[in-house]
Structure 1
Amino acid sequence: MRRTVGRRRGGAPGEPRAVGYLYVLPALVLYGAFLLFPLGQTVWLSLLHWDGLTVATWAGAANYQALLTDPSLRGPFLHALVLLLFYAVLPVALGLLLASALSRFRVRGTAFFRTVFFLPQVLAMVVVGVAWRSILGPDGLLNDSLRAVGLGSLARSWLGDYTWALPAVGTIGTWVETGLCVVLFLAGVQRIPRELYEAARMDGAGPVREFLAVTLPALRAEIAVALTLTIVAGLRNFDLIYITTAGGPGNATSVPAYEVYHRAFETNEVGSAAAMGVGLTVLIFVLTVSVARLAEGRNR
């Protein structure tokens, strides 16, 4: 009797699983149509020599070999790794410092500061690029301020200097991403039990030791999320480069995302652009998975 009732309620043994597949199938179709299919087509194009107009010819792994041997293709990836220092490492460090300070000293108006720090994330990157291009220009606010305090010898065209163009763009990235990290870490600090801080202070812990013993271990999950988001933002950076420097001067600020656009639509090297896009995808995947693995390993 129990078996009969169980069959009526649950149906055939494979029926619940089949119904589950039916619910998931539309999402899988959309995922395949809008992500897997374009990705597969990009991989196929990366195996060809094609200018976008004439008949394509087979290239095999030649486009991928060029990523490792051609300085004009390898350079953008090196620039992207340098920008990760400004887009990921510095924002996370500054975010931890500011979040710890705001939580430790009980600053009034925390919601106001949180909004101010997060404001760069709300602005369109085109607006950010135009504003900072004006600030860092030869007659911009930064150079005018240097001249006003007697440091006119340091004034320069920051975005047009071969040495300083890439750090200048990176500084903009630091300004944009720091607010995101501050908001994430403030949310994480608020869930840390105050008893842990009180116990650390009773043991004689100062601000630095308190941060290392209590705050930092408790924010591992938030740090992993912040690193993932900032790494992805740094590696897929296109609009900021396009607005501020267009990859210049020369190729001093060229990054993979901008180089994909340049080769696909300006020099008509579609196969090479596709190979660079695939390489960028692999790099993002490897770095984000590594961050996730490190976070999971430390939480065990």
Structure 2
Amino acid sequence: MSSTPSRPAADRRTASRPARRGGRWRGYLYVLPALAVYLAFAVLPALHTAYLSLFEWDGVTLGRWVGLDNYREVFGDAVLRRSVLNALTLVVFFSFLPILLGLVTAGLLARYRRPGMAAYRFLFMLPQVVPLVAVGVTWRWLYGDDGLVNQTLRTVGLDGVTRAWLGDFDAALIAVGLVGTWVLSGLCMMLFLSGVQKVDPSLYEAARLDGAGPVREFVSVTLPHLRGELAVAMTVTMVAALASFDIVYVTTNGGPGEQTTVPGLLVYRLAFSDGKVGLASALAVVLACLILVLVYVVNRLSRSEE
């Protein structure tokens, strides 16, 4: 008696297995167009770049196989090594400072809500809307000898501090980095604001009842709930720092000397100006690997904290 009703259930389970398999394959078919585009425009070009990095090629004539010689030159050439160090320095300005400013701004806007908050958000997000070429042109004017930065310093009596910021060997990289800070701070702020809105308001009420001040409330309640947004912000900003090209090209073009030269700019120069496509490809591969390693470390750290 007990085995009779179990047969239909077993039959139904057996019959549902092909249906589940068919549904799974249908799901893959839906993903296939996007996967084909990704393979055609991302994976295959990346593999082709890695292949070209093994040749000495000017982009026109027949290439000559050199194996890993291009990679040896990347790690042995002082200018190429300096470009990587410059990119790592920009991580401080493109990633760490925007994240810090974004956290502070998001904490203030979340705690002290006032009319007109939408206007503040618009102003902070404005650099993300403006093309980076326009941003570079604007800041090149601001940093000029008679630009707004020097005019402001002269107005407050700091004439001795004024200089040609983008032409100064000691200040050029910092000046370019601060442009990245201005561009990416709004993006970080919006990411953190979206995370703050998901926090249960009762947690803030409990913290205030326990006597927590604004700083303690932010550290104990807000910050632990922003781990996911912090990982996203760090990933996006680090990639922007290491792959930077537009702002550097428009503001300084790598000068003065090689003080603001970054790998993205060198890849462009080597491939299109110097006719060293193989060396440019090797530098691009090294840069891509560096980005992948840093992104992997950030994701691993964020998961371990969770």
TM-score (norm 1): 0.93
* RMSD, aligned α-carbons: 1.9
Query: Is the 8 Å Cα contact of residues 236 and 257 (structure 1) preserved in structure 2?
Result: yes
What SS class does the counterpart of residue 277 from structure 1 fall into?
A: helix
Equivalents in 2 of 1:21, 1:190: separation in Å?
35
1:159 matches 2:159:
no
- Pick the aligned partner of 2:73 from 56, 60, 66: 66
What SS class does the counterpart of residue 216 from structure 1 fall into?
A: helix
What SS class does the counterpart of residue 219 from structure 1 fall into?
A: helix
Point out 4+ residue stretches in structure 1 off by more than 6 angstroms.
Answer: 3-10
- Pick the aligned partner of 2:110 from 74, 80, 103: 103
Equivalents in 2 of 1:218, 1:232: separation in Å?
23
**CA shift digits 1:148-201 (9 cap, x unpaired):** 222111110000111100000000000000001111111111221221112112
Corresponding position of 2:3: none
Equivalents in 1 of 2:146, 2:77: separation in Å?
37
1:80 matches 2:80:
no
Corresponding position of 1:225: 232
Measured after TM superposition, the shift of residue 209 of structure 1 is: 1.6
Equivalents in 2 of 1:229, 1:223: separation in Å?
10
Equivalents in 1 of 2:249, 2:295: separation in Å?
25
Gaps of 5+ in 2: 1-6
Q: Which runs of structure 2 are paired with 1:34-183 in the superposition (5 Å)?
A: 34-183=41-190
Is the alpha carbon distance of 1:104 and 1:20 closer, same or farther for their aligned partners in structure 2, counting shifts above 3 Å? closer
Paired letter, 2:80: L
Equivalents in 2 of 1:6, 1:28: separation in Å?
32
Measured after TM superposition, the shift of residue 32 of structure 1 is: 1.7
- Pick the aligned partner of 1:261 from 258, 264, 268: 268
Number of equivalent positions: 299
Query: Is the 8 Å Cα contact of residues 10 and 16 (structure 1) preserved in structure 2?
Result: no
**CA shift digits 1:126-155 (9 cap, x unpaired):** 110000000001111111111222211111
Equivalents in 2 of 1:105, 1:127: separation in Å?
33
Equivalents in 1 of 2:152, 2:26: separation in Å?
67
Paired letter, 2:254: G
Measured after TM superposition, the shift of residue 108 of structure 1 is: 2.5
- Name which of structure 1's ranges 73-82 and 22-31 shifts more when overlaid on structure 2: 22-31
Equivalents in 1 of 2:259, 2:57: separation in Å?
27
TM-score (norm 2): 0.92
Measured after TM superposition, the shift of residue 53 of structure 1 is: 2.1
Is the alpha carbon distance of 1:21 and 1:209 closer, same or farther for their aligned partners in structure 2, counting shifts above 3 Å? closer
Corresponding position of 1:283: 290
Measured after TM superposition, the shift of residue 27 of structure 1 is: 3.0
Corresponding position of 1:208: 215
Equivalents in 2 of 1:12, 1:102: separation in Å?
51
- Name which of structure 1's ranges 103-112 and 240-249 shifts more when overlaid on structure 2: 103-112
Gaps of 5+ in 1: none
**CA shift digits 1:207-245 (9 cap, x unpaired):** 222111111101111111111111111111111111000
What SS class does the counterpart of residue 275 from structure 2 fall into?
A: coil
Equivalents in 1 of 2:296, 2:283: separation in Å?
20
Measured after TM superposition, the shift of residue 13 of structure 1 is: 8.3
Is the alpha carbon distance of 1:211 and 1:17 closer, same or farther for their aligned partners in structure 2, counting shifts above 3 Å? closer
Equivalents in 2 of 1:28, 1:134: separation in Å?
43
